[in-house]
Amino acid sequence: MDSWNDTIGQTIDLIQDGKDIFSNQYVILALTFAAFFYVRRLQQRTGWMLLNPILIAIILLIVYLKVTGVPFEVYKQDAQLIDFWLKPAVVALGVPLYLQLDAIKRLWLPIVLSQLVGCLVGIVSVVLVAQYFHAPKFIILSLASKSVTTPIAMEVTQSLGGIPSLTAAVVVITGIIGALVGFKALTIGHVKSPIAQGLSMGAASHAVGASTAMAYSSKYGAFASLGITLNGIFTALLTPTVLRLMGII
């Protein structure tokens, strides 16, 4: 009887150890980086747009959490180092931006005006589409700032009375769509300037678009990061006014 109890206890311990391995911080970090890295390599080899490393990595990690039973809260806690590393990574975008400083000084007026127009079009278009489909007010308020980075978008949404978590999800979807079809759309529209393409990707699909632009060259990435910055500033300042003029708030 004692040996039987010992066997059961050892089995339970093994099961518990297996669960601990699945939720181990280093395992989760390794899986996250491996999923992104290998999908990106596969995309580079095949050239398939649908093999977006961010999109596929998200899907793979969702499957992993479902199969292993690891709660999302545990993954979020264990993956905090990724958030920490993102901050210096964003600051590092200033290096290629500095290298393009002469071009920015020379073209500052069209750059600022284009980003202002892009901001207004981004806000107005999503509001009109949401109204066309009779979306409730809180949905419209949550969608208005979809094209900027998540922290700015969530702050804008919270100040307007929307749902920040919904905004965060829409921001991710917007970025992935921009990464998938952004450059293709610009090519179809005969937009050939690296400056215009980079600014467009940053303004329309924020950091995800900027990472895609950086894969083309540092020049694309530099102007994409500039697009993120300017569109973020304009969106934070103008969204309440635009929504007020449209009669939403």
Q: Distance between CA atoms of 214 and 160, rounded to whole angstroms? A: 33
Report whether 191 contacts 209 (CB < 8 A): no
Residue that finishes a domain, picked among 27, 58, 86: 86
Q: Are residues 80 and 26 in the same domain?
A: yes
Q: Is residue 118 located within the same domain as residue 9?
A: no
Q: State whether 109 and 38 are in the same domain.
A: no
Asked if residue 151 and residue 42 are part of one domain, the reply reads no
Whether residue 75 sits in one domain with residue 140: no
Per DSSP, 148 falls in state S
Predicted confidence pLDDT, tens digits, the chain (249 residues): 445 444 444 444 444 444 577 778 888 888 888 988 898 888 878 877 777 788 888 889 899 988 888 888 888 887 887 777 766 776 777 777 788 888 888 989 999 999 999 999 999 999 999 999 998 999 999 998 888 888 888 888 888 888 888 888 888 888 888 888 888 888 888 888 888 998 999 888 887 888 788 877 778 888 888 888 899 889 999 999 999 998 887
**End of a domain among 55, 86, 117?**
86
* Residues 60 and 108 both lie in one domain: no
Number of domains the chain contains: 2
Report the alpha-carbon distance of residue 157 to residue 197 in Å, rounded. Answer: 28
Same domain, 79 and 129: no
163 and 114 inside one domain: yes
Q: Is 163 left (phi over 0), alpha (psi -120 to 50) or beta?
A: beta
Residues 82 and 128 in one domain: no
Q: Which of 62, 86, 110 is the last residue of a domain?
A: 86
* Residue 90: per-residue pLDDT: 66
Which residue segment(s) compose the domain that 118 sits in?
94-245
Same domain, 34 and 137: no
- 153, 190: one domain: yes
Same domain, 36 and 158: no
